[in-house]
Amino acid sequence: MAISSFTVKKPAERLASLDILRGFDLFMLVFFQPVFVELVRHWEHIPFFGFLLRQFEHKAWTGFSAWDLVMPLFLFMVGAAMPFSFEKFKNSPDKKTIYKKIIRRFIILFILGMIVQGNLLSLDPLQIRLYSNTLQAIAVGYLIAAVFQLHLSNKFQYIATALLLIGYWALLTFFGDFTPEGNFAEKVDQFVLGRFRDGVSYQADGTWQFNPNYRYTWILSSMTFGVTVMLGVFAGKIMKNGTDKRKNSISLLIWGIALIIAGVLLGFQTPIIKKIWSSSMTLYSGGLCFLLMALFYYMIDYRKKSKGMNWLKIYGMNSITAYTLGMVIDFRSVANSVLWGFEKYIGDFYPVLLTFANFLILFFILRLMYKAKVFVKI
């Protein structure tokens, strides 16, 4: 089954800031964070390094760290690109063909998510997890955003997005609480996914149980995955439809500030919790995404100052490839077969070298693809 197509041409209409910001997000995920954490953990007893290390870890429950922004930004950027790619589809009478493409992308992303995190390659039905990965959250958010854009006017896209956010807020507020055990999203995941939920463990007698330390939710949280992608869509529309790039940057900035304020205020009633993608977290992270988009758009597309950042397109223009290879294939064995002699000299820092080499190999693979103008699309 073919899971991708290849092109040797860049799309006709493309914003450099989209590719570079997406590349920045992927670089943080599949290079900087794993290398940085492996290195800095040796000095985590020093307060400064301990603080930095905590910023590259997910919050246990409430609150928000820098690392908690990576996944929302990934979804946001998917949405930001959609107004450009969907322009040719919106007024097309042949919705059947369009939906074939949308469903195909949805299925491929879902399967890739199962490969990355759902144990699909284990070939063991007891180990397979159905819905547990960022790529699957993208698939669901993309599907929601695609339906909204194909069938709703701009006004009703805003209304439908607000209803998704309010609906999720209401379900979590009135049918549970915001504790790890008592939130409604957790209950829905356990009921719907059952033994196919991530974190399930099997006992020697064949019985299974939910891991009390696994608190990510997916089924009901799909509502706010859709909201995050739609926030990206709204940002994309600002950049696509606005003729004055300076004013576009200001609009993005205002959106960002407004969403952050809204997220903080809502946080007094609905805590900011990334693991269940709470409504306040959706607003707060969406605001941060808008601010990053404003900064990159202003500097790169308005001021034309992209010097020193264009290399991030190596990740940004093959983002799904970068993510999938980075999460699935471990090049450390290749690195170890060449670098093993260094272990006796650098001791505890040898894993740092292997981690660096692992993601450097991935970078060179992506660079070769970029130079050859091979961009894997789904």
| pLDDT score for 13 | 56
Residue 256 near residue 290, CB atoms below 8 Å: yes
pLDDT digits (tens, 9 = 90+) for 124-168: 998 999 999 999 999 999 999 999 999 999 999 999 999 999 999
pLDDT digits (tens, 9 = 90+) for 88-118: 776 777 788 889 999 999 999 999 999 999 9
Distance, C-alpha 216 to centroid of its chain: 14
Q: What backbone phi and psi angles, to 5 degrees, belong to 281?
A: -65, -40
CA distance 36 to 26: 15
Q: Residue 8 pLDDT > 80, yes or no?
A: no
| pLDDT score for 279 | 98
Mean pLDDT, to the nearest integer, of 323-340?
95
| pLDDT score for 6 | 40
What does pTM read for this prediction? Answer: 0.93
**What is the rounded average pLDDT for all residues in the chain?**
93
Residue 272 near residue 286, CB atoms below 8 Å: no
For 27, 221, 235, the CA distances from 111, given in Å and listed in that order, are: 23, 19, 28
Q: What backbone phi and psi angles, to 5 degrees, belong to 200?
A: -70, 140
Mean pLDDT, to the nearest integer, of 73-94?
86
